[in-house]
Copies of this chain bind each other. A is one copy, B any other.
């Protein structure tokens, strides 16, 4: 805030000779409005005698909220969507005579609102007098009138105050006592709105669904993580407006979903912003905050930020994507969370990810600055892009995880996904970075003993191998890989790559070294705390015998692709007849990895094989996700409005190891805000049971999420859907 204060000081002091002062960037009201505004020079007090006086305004809450699909918000004020009519009932001290009486509605937002900035809007009951927002009388007027108001489909989104202003010959009489607050949101149901979405089942998912699924895990075993977006919970809408204020989005830009989503992507992380919402932490020490894996939803994070005005600790990518999704759905921009498996993080701005390894298969941490995350989550927001040529609207990628700076800040997007698919990466914002996340080529370079480098492996299909989001209306996965990229190796994909290279963001694709032997790594029954076998297949694609010396290096690995401590090392030889496959097994023992496991329970195995006959070295890396014991949630009771019902979370520690300092959380969008229970100890093979009661007040479908978190076991969660009958 200090910085903002300074700007205001400077503005008033140094800009006397300028008409353009700094823009208003706060939704907070400033009481600079007067009850009487004379025409011309002041001529004494307002002659209100005989003129209309307002006695009461009714915002017709129930009707308007139902029509504007805002019933779900836990908020006492009127919430409507722009580009769609709402109605208010105004009572005067006597009958309103349209011929002789004149009045208008005035909507104001923020400090020093101005007509030119669209922060003050005048609406007349006579349609002919309006240009931007429309107004009309809905009934023949008497002492009480019913007036319909249609905010412009491009108007500013935020919290307004509405005044009734009576026009007298001496000036404007603005009634202060009856003035009313209301929120106006984006309207994906309105065809004129830039966030318009025509399909009702999509709208039910992408605006109205308060619960969702975010995919973690790996390429072969995506793990669904339930998430309570809670965009309608009490306090969340105000928290989202606060994020816009703190992001210093000028009020006059708050009707533009491109700018709103971009600047929110900067403010939701705290990397450049001392007061950003969420602190990223990719270490394994979360002792002065909450582990990223322990969150079950966005509500607690956004409320905590709004109350304390301090960054909340800690998040990783799915937590950032979770809160961003809450923000977008809350303000009315259709959105979803997506997961990109083997997501390249291109540090150098090329389309190539360089990984340097030594002869033991260990990554050179000094030289390697690019990385491939096992998965990375970001958001898609749905909007037209009037700032770009026609054809690039629709889903836009936006990402608030602080990965790389964009135009001076940690933020990303919006990027048109349809443009990116075709390699058209010249348009705002950050298209080359997102293109690289799903299309980057991986070049593994081995450092030879004499200091020279040798290309060990070039892979053009590893990155962006699978892109997922939750299915519409169901708890299953939807594969959206094809929306981001053409099939690897297809002509279309080559053309997209060539197009991207034309925009100067790419080096030439490396030549693929020819390989005579193919290696595949498989693992089954990879339960946490259990021993398992790696199944390594060597396939001879050539017509001569090959003798192979192989080493397999096992490490725990962060989901960001960074290796942790080593867990195993094995070496063996293979004799490969032409066109044959040989399978070797490598034992992986729980005692070797259990004390080293990181939060996502991932292990990496790097296989390096030297073909003796040719001197050629080939390699492959495989990531294995260990599965933990599950928790179960039982729902009992009558499942009827105003009757008590019960949720029971059960968990059995099937590991051979005791768990300590365990946190269990239950959270449901409509049910209750997150409830937490702490356990100091759960011995091996013992169980816990926790029951909470709940008395529903509304009928309808609903979801409860539960999560168990401790240092040894960070991926235990579950959810249950249920429907309350009337």
Q: Which of B16, B116, B167 contacts A283 (CB 8 A)?
A: B16
A407 within 8 A of B: yes
8 Å CB contact of A18 from B13, B20, B358, B371: B371
* Chain A residues with a Cβ closer than 8 Å to the other chain, count: 83
Residues on B with beta carbons closer than 8 Å to the beta carbon of A387:
426, 503-505
CB distance from A528 to the nearest CB of B (A): 19
Chain B residues near A584 (CB, 8 Å)?
none
Interchain CB contact under 8 A, A19 and B280 = no
| Nearest chain B CB to A124 CB, angstrom units | 11
A114 contact from B169, B349, B358, B366, Cβ within 8 A: B366
Is the pair A354, B116 in contact by a Cβ cutoff of 8 Å?
yes
Partner of A371, one of B19, B281, B408: B19
Contact B282 A18 (CB under 8 A): yes
Interface membership of A449, Cβ < 8 A: yes
Contact assessment for A370 and B116 in the assembled complex, using a CB-CB cutoff below 8 Å: yes
Q: How far is the CA of A18 from the CA of B404 in the complex (A)?
A: 12
A571 to B46 Cα, complex, angstroms:
32
Nearest to A402 among chain B residues (CB) is: B22
- The number of times this chain is found in the oligomer is 2
Whether B19 lies near A368 (C-beta < 8 A) is yes
Contact of B40 with A449 in the complex, beta carbons under 8 Å: yes
Q: Is the Cβ of B15 less than 8 Å from the Cβ of A283?
A: yes
User: Smallest CB-CB separation from A366: which chain B residue?
Assistant: B114
Interface status of A3 (Cβ within 8 A of chain B):
yes
**Which one of A281, A345, A354 has the greatest number of beta carbons of chain B within 10 Å?**
A281
A118 within 8 A of B: yes
A 420-432 to B, binary, CB cutoff 8 A, 1 in contact else 0: 0000001111000
- Is A19 within 8 A of B365, CB to CB? yes
A582 to B424, CA, bound (A): 61
Contact of A284 among B16, B118, B266, B282 (CB under 8 A): B16
Closest to A390 in B: B502
Task: Determine how close the nearest CB of chain B comes to the CB of A360; give it in whole angstroms.
Answer: 10
Say whether A262 faces chain B, with CB atoms less than 8 Å apart: yes
Which parts of A225-268 form the interface with B (CB within 8 Å)? 247-248, 250, 252-253, 262-263, 266
Q: Which residues of B contact A16 (CB under 8 A)?
A: 282-285, 562
A473 within 8 A of B: no
Q: Inside 8 A of A80's CB, which chain B residues have their CB?
A: none
- Scan A1-40; emit 1 where CB is below 8 A from any B CB, else 0: 0010011001001111111100100000000000000011
Roughly how many angstroms separate A368 CA and B116 CA in the complex, as a whole number? Answer: 7
A14 to B284, CA, bound (A): 9
Q: Does residue A62 face the partner (Cβ distance < 8 Å to B)?
A: no
Could you tell me if B20 and A281 are in contact, using CB atoms closer than 8 angstroms?
Answer: no
User: CA–CA, A10 to B272, complex, Å?
Assistant: 11
A554 interfacial contact with B, CB 8 Å: no
Contact with B along A400-412 (1 / 0, CB 8 A): 0001110111000
B347–A20 contact, CB under 8 A?
Answer: yes
| Chain B residue contacts of A206, Cβ below 8 A | none
Contacts of A558 in B (CB 8 A): 17-18
Q: Is the CB of A14 within 8 A of B280?
A: yes
The A interface is mostly helix, strand or loop, or mixed, namely loop
Give A302-342 as 1s and 0s: 1 = Cβ < 8 Å from B's Cβ atoms: 00000000000010000000000000000000000000000
Q: Does A388 contact B (CB under 8 A)?
A: yes
In chain A, positions 155-208 with a C-beta closer than 8 Å to chain B are 167, 169, 171-172
Interface string of A351-386 (1 = CB under 8 A from B): 000100010000001111111000000000000001
Contact, CB under 8 Å: A18 / B386: no
Bound form: Cα–Cα A545–B370 in Å: 80
One digit per residue, 1 when the CB lies within 8 angstroms of any chain B CB and 0 when it does not, for chain A 495-511 equals 00000000111000000
> Contacts A274-B6, A282-B15, A282-B16 known; A117 to B365 CB distance under 8 Å?
no
Question: What chain B residues lie within 8 Å of A3 (beta carbons)?
Answer: 274
Contact with B along A432-467 (1 / 0, CB 8 A): 000000000000000001110000000000000000
Contact B349 A39 (CB under 8 A): no
Residue of B nearest to A129 (CB): B452
A614 at the interface (CB under 8 A from B): no
In the bound complex, residues from chain B placing their C-beta under 8 Å from that of A429 are: 407
Report the Cα distance A113→B602, complex, angstroms.
31
Question: Shortest beta-carbon distance, A172 to chain B, in Å?
Answer: 7
Q: A347-B116, A348-B117, A386-B504 are in contact. Are A404 and B20 (CB under 8 A)?
A: yes
* A598 interface hit (Cβ, 8 Å): yes
Q: How far is the CA of A403 from the CA of B19 in the complex (A)?
A: 10
Q: State the CA gap A169–B450 with chains docked (Å).
A: 7
Closest to A352 in B: B116
CB distance from A514 to the nearest CB of B (A): 21
Docked CA distance A247–B252 (Å):
27
The answer to whether A349 touches B252 (Cβ under 8 A) is: yes
- Chain B positions within 8 Å of A358 at CB level: 40
- Interface flags for A672-710 (1: CB within 8 Å of B; 0: not) read 000000000000000000000000000000000000000
CB-based contact A371/B283 at 8 Å:
no
Q: How far is the CA of A263 from the CA of B405 in the complex (A)?
A: 12
Bound complex: CA A283 to CA B371 (Å): 51
The verdict on A271 contacting chain B, using a C-beta distance below 8 Å, is yes
Are A451 and B349 also in contact (CB < 8 A) when A117-B369, A368-B19 are? no
Q: Quick check: B405 and A250 within 8 Å, CB to CB? A: yes
Check: A389 CB closer than 8 A to any chain B CB.
yes
Shortest A318–chain B CB gap in Å is: 14
* Additional A-B contact list (19), CB under 8 Å, known A6-B274, A14-B280, A20-B403: A3-B274, A16-B282, A17-B282, A17-B560, A17-B598, A19-B345, A19-B365, A19-B370, A19-B371, A20-B371, A116-B348, A116-B369, A117-B348, A167-B451, A247-B408, A252-B347, A252-B348, A386-B504, A408-B408
A-B contact pairs, 22 of them (CB 8 A): A14-B281, A14-B314, A15-B282, A16-B285, A16-B562, A17-B558, A17-B559, A17-B598, A18-B282, A19-B345, A19-B347, A19-B370, A23-B347, A23-B404, A23-B405, A39-B450, A116-B354, A118-B348, A262-B407, A387-B505, A388-B503, A408-B409
